[in-house]
Chain A
């Protein structure tokens, strides 16, 4: 078409309407179509969003927000803050607590990991400390030899022992939990009652929390392949029951209590007696308190 334009003809004259119109039209079409496109896209997006937002504001957000605020206000008064008390003087190392825990929380007996475990500490007269926890102590400590791993054991003559004791361990439900801090997806969190929980449907299984816990409380569940830990038997305590390990302990070495209940005997012991926590230097503010603790225990 451009071949029709005489060389000398000035552009914009009426003599070549077709030629002149062509670029103008294509230019206009481009500009308008782009603008139109943006406009229409914007309108469409706004159109889709408006009812959704309106619905949420009117029914969802407002309702949920109000309910949540109300819930929190009442929760502050009644929500317990769970604390655990371990009296190491009372523990005999029977391992019933470990068995009960595994049974209650569906952790196989044969699994070489456990939500809770019992340690045997033997300190000899030469100042050496010997510790073991074969099968997390679930079968009790029936052999006098110390388990050294790799199938090796160490026999200690009774007269060489200066002191020996058992230490039950479990998740400390820290008030500043490093495991919660490092979870990249927020799958592990501290619930309002102070217990640290794991969302098995959201955990990606990176293992950061397992490595971040200074107490070795976490491992991977063999079936769900998500981070697994002691929950103080949240499913039981929230119904007024005691954790499986507490219930299984015949000697009262394990007890649970509510810090927010002034009449709670455990809370009273923690508040009025000299209690220890594990690895206080990490600044995690553990909520498991120990009576009769020794400096050798880490």
Chain B
């Protein structure tokens, strides 16, 4: 069986070698990098532009961005026919290819985020390491391990003078500023990968990188907002329960609604821009009606109508737009709206990646995509529903682990948790 045949159904005149080659993992790849870039931009809004109301979510967003990074890498590895050769991209990068820069941009971005996190948490590592050491021989095994981890993370720097803290702050600002263009580039070039394929009538548009970046910011902010609310709620509920048992040292605060309102305003701006750009692209294609339009109009308005206009624009953009615009924003409404926005962005990636391959280059045939649900074999596991779920859930697990070392909420100094 030729690669792609498992999930492709051909209809009418499709060339013999045409199949949906880029499947669900290539939908996940821009979705995950979008979340990475978006959450980084959100944290930078505070660190660079000093939007004070975002202070509560800035650390959270930065650590989340760091945890999401492997999420941008895993789908590619699962998609490659020869993942063991993936290092070739670094060994012999062929720079006329948009993908060749991936290794460099990705490593660069990884280094920036890691460095920013280090500067941000340096004081915490020092304090925590000293605190755990001060416990002396009463330390549990877990505390000993944590102490070792924290001591290693200080990288040997125990300087906590005011001067050094000022320098740290400066470094954070610098890294956050440098990170914005790199994050946008990381994602914009994912858009370029598609936008520059001249053989594909749907992908070929210079608007593609811009659309990708804006929708990336939309998805990143949504995910941060959503998880911020969930984590805060869980913490405050756990706090209340502990308070009931009389074990609490300091009650965890519940969600700060002003943070939510401010963040959702940014979400609204980016969401409106994303939808406008996508509609502009659609209108332009219809108006210019090039040769490819004869199949594109059928693909967009008839065959993929449900996916594009109901699931993506309707449910994923219009409904949350109205929900966020209505006065007296509540937490519950924000949660539903952000979930819908995330869904909308995922559908947008799906409609671009799969939709772009759903018609033949002959403009006279169609290909339907059937997502492999049950993993009968490795191919169906890697590039099926299970693979996509692994890609999505791995960063969440990583974020949980990271949050044990990098506290994403301000906490009582020296409180073991």
Residues 233-266 of chain B, each 1 if its beta carbon lies under 8 Å from chain A, else 0: 0000000000000000000000000000000000
- Find out whether the CB atom of B357 lies under 8 angstroms from the CB atom of A211: yes
* Interface check A207, CB cutoff 8 A: yes
Residues of B within 8 A of A149 (CB): 9-12, 14, 365
A184 at interface, CB cutoff 8 A: yes
Question: B345-359 toward A: CB 8 Å interface, digit per residue (1/0)?
Answer: 000000000000100
Whether a CB of chain B sits under 8 angstroms from the CB of A80 is no
CB neighbours of B92 from chain A (8 A): 185-186, 202
Tell me if A225 and B11 are in contact (CB < 8 A): no
Q: Across the interface, which residues of B come within 8 angstroms of A133, CB to CB?
A: 15-16
**In the complex, how many angstroms separate the beta carbon of B262 from the nearest chain A beta carbon?**
40
Check B21 against A202 for contact (C-beta < 8 Å). no
> B1 at the A/B interface (Cβ < 8 Å)?
yes
CB neighbors of A among B63-121 (8 A): 76, 79-83, 85-86, 88-89, 91-94, 96-100, 102
Q: Which of these binds chain B: A1-9, A83-91, A112-120?
A: A112-120
B362 on interface, CB distance cutoff 8 Å: yes
Q: Which of B16, B76, B98, B361 has the most CB of A within 10 A?
A: B16
Tell me whether A117 and B80 are in contact (CB under 8 A): no
Kindly identify which residue among A111, A132, A150, A186 contacts B13, using a CB–CB cutoff of 8 Å.
A132
Asked, given contacts A182-B96, A216-B18, A217-B17, whether A205 binds B80 with beta carbons under 8 Å apart, the answer is yes
Residues of B within 8 A of A183 (CB): 94, 97
Stretch touching chain A among B196-204, B319-327, B396-404: B196-204
**Restricting to B182-206, which residues have a CB under 8 Å from any CB of A?**
193, 196-200
With A185-B92, A187-B88, A211-B22 known to touch, is A150 a contact of B100 (CB < 8 Å)? no
Verify A225–B198 contact, CB threshold 8 A: no
By beta carbon, the residue of chain B nearest A148 is B12
A8 to B21, CA, bound (A): 82
| B302 at the A interface (CB under 8 A) | no
Q: Does A172 contact B (CB under 8 A)?
A: no
Do B198 and A222 touch across chains, with their CB atoms under 8 A apart? no
B22 A216 Cβ-Cβ under 8 A = no
A77 close to chain B: CB less than 8 A? no
Residue A139 lies at the interface, judged by CB distance under 8 Å to chain B: no
Contact A184 B12 (CB under 8 A): no
Is A165's CB within 8 Å of the partner chain B? no
With a CB–CB cut-off of 8 A, which chain B residues contact A178?
A: 197-199
Q: Is A219 an interface residue (CB 8 A)?
A: yes
Does A181 have its Cβ within 8 Å of any Cβ on chain B?
yes
CB distance A222 to B2 under 8 Å?
A: yes
Name the residue in A114, A131, A185, A203 with the highest tally of chain B Cβ atoms < 10 Å from its Cβ: A185
A72 on the interface (CB 8 Å rule)?
A: no
B2 touches A206 (CB 8 A): no
Name the contact of B17 in the complex, choosing from A131, A218, A222 (C-beta under 8 A): A218
B361 touches A298 (CB 8 A): yes
- Interface status of A220 (Cβ within 8 A of chain B): yes
Best-surrounded residue of B21, B88, B99, B102 (most CB of chain A within 10 A): B21
Asked whether A114 and B16 contact (CB < 8 A) given A205-B80, A226-B81, the answer is yes
Residues of B within 8 A of A282 (CB): 198-199
Assuming the A-B contacts A149-B11, A178-B198, A185-B92, are A204 and B17 also in contact, with contact meaning beta carbons closer than 8 angstroms in the complex?
Answer: no
* A252 / chain B contacts, CB cutoff of 8 Å: none
Least CB separation from A281: chain B residue = B291
A220 touches B82 (CB 8 A): no
* Cβ contact within 8 Å between B81 and A220: yes
A117 contacts which chain B residues (CB < 8 A)? Answer: 15-17
* A187-231 interface bits toward B, Cβ cutoff 8 Å, 1 = contact, 0 = none: 100000000000000111111101111111111101001100000
Q: Is the CB of B362 within 8 A of A112?
A: no
Output the nearest chain A residue to B364 by Cβ-Cβ distance: A131
Flag if A214 contacts B199 (CB, 8 Å). yes
Residue B363 CB within 8 A of the other chain:
yes
Shortest Cβ distance from residue B193 to the other chain A in the assembled complex, whole angstroms? 8
A to B CB contacts below 8 Å, 24 in the list: A117-B15, A117-B16, A117-B17, A130-B13, A131-B362, A131-B364, A133-B16, A149-B12, A150-B9, A182-B96, A182-B99, A185-B88, A185-B89, A185-B92, A185-B94, A186-B92, A204-B85, A205-B82, A206-B80, A207-B22, A216-B18, A218-B17, A225-B3, A282-B198
Binding site for A on B (CB under 8 A): 1-5, 9-19, 21-22, 76, 79-83, 85-86, 88-89, 91-94, 96-100, 102, 193, 196-200, 357, 360-365
